[in-house]
Structure 1
Amino acid sequence: MGMNGFGPSFGPPPIFTFFFFLIAAVIAGTFLFIVVRGLRTWSSNNAAEPETRSCKVAAKRTEVWGGSGDSSANTSYFITFEFHDGSRKELPVRGADYGMIAEGDYGIVTFQGTRFKHFDRGIPQ
């Protein structure tokens, strides 16, 4: 007789059940971590005062991710702005903004925390 008293007991061995729940907990924990981190960044950006500073476009870069099998690749765009005091700030930008701004451009950038707002090309200062 099985453990339940009604004959042989069928079902997955306890080790499989343990690993199933362990993997589910890891996936749920990772998802929760990503959501909390995103909300924290969003909240921090909203709390920051918008800044407008004179700058030079020091560098541009892209980051391509995904794209295996039937899924398409995604591209993230970044621009590094250098300020008169020598400090730099890299900001993620939309593809349209990335295409309109060239390395070496001088102008005025507006950003809020890590959120790019606008770039006005101007005369070197």
Structure 2
Amino acid sequence: MFGFDTDLDAFKIIAFVFPILFIFVFASIFLTLLKVLKQWNYNNKQPKITVPATLLTKSTKVIQHKRNQYIMPSPTSYSLTFEVESGESIELSVDGLTYGKFIENETGILTYQGNKLIHFER
């Protein structure tokens, strides 16, 4: 007769796979949170520095996830590269709203801490 074999019941498979998927998702969230907290802690331990600077470049990085023929929504990271008066280039991570407020070759007073932009006054 047609049907499921009693040894390979769909409920048994789900009961086996679900905990593994739950642990994988929980571990991914935990590791991402740990990475964010580590970067936050690093930035907060750095001194706040205020220097004259020029915005050299704006850049974005898009990570595309392609599954079969569909392109999945992708996270985008934004960064601004400033040149300070000593000639050193500093790349700072920003969010999308902050990224859109800047124009390349602007000059002003830059305040940053670690790799976090605090303020840029034109």
TM-score of the two chains, using structure 2 as the length reference: 0.66
Partner SS for 2:93? strand
Closer, same or farther: CA 94–23 of 1 in aligned 2, 3 Å: closer
Partner SS for 1:37? helix
Match of 1:3 in 2: none
Q: Could you tell me how far apart the structure 1 residues matched to 2:100 and 2:17 are?
A: 48
Partner SS for 2:43? helix
Q: 1:43-82 counterparts in 2 under 5 A?
A: 43-62=41-60, 77-82=78-83
Superposed displacement of residue 86, structure 1: 3.7
Higher helix residue share? 2
% identical equivalent positions = 31
Match of 1:38 in 2: 36
Superposed displacement of residue 32, structure 1: 0.6
Q: 1:1-125 counterparts in 2 under 5 A?
A: 12=10, 14-62=12-60, 77-94=78-95, 97-121=98-122
Closer, same or farther: CA 46–84 of 1 in aligned 2, 3 Å: same
Superposed displacement of residue 53, structure 1: 2.1
Q: Could you tell me how far apart the structure 2 residues matched to 1:49 and 1:28 are?
A: 34
Q: Could you tell me how far apart the structure 1 residues matched to 2:62 and 2:24 are?
A: 26
Q: Could you tell me how far apart the structure 2 residues matched to 1:115 and 1:13 are?
A: 49
Letter in 1 for 2:51: R
Q: Could you tell me how far apart the structure 2 residues matched to 1:114 and 1:102 are?
A: 19
Partner SS for 2:47? coil
- 1:52-111: CA deviation from partner (whole Å, max 9, x where unpaired): 122221101345689xxxxx9986543111224443222233555444432112222101
Q: Deviating runs (4+, > 6 A) in structure 1? A: 72-75
Q: Could you tell me how far apart the structure 1 residues matched to 2:18 and 2:74 are?
A: 31
Partner SS for 1:103? coil
- 1:37-61: CA deviation from partner (whole Å, max 9, x where unpaired): 1111222222211111222211013
RMSD value, Cα = 3.4
**Structure 1: runs of 5 or more not aligned:** 1-7, 67-71
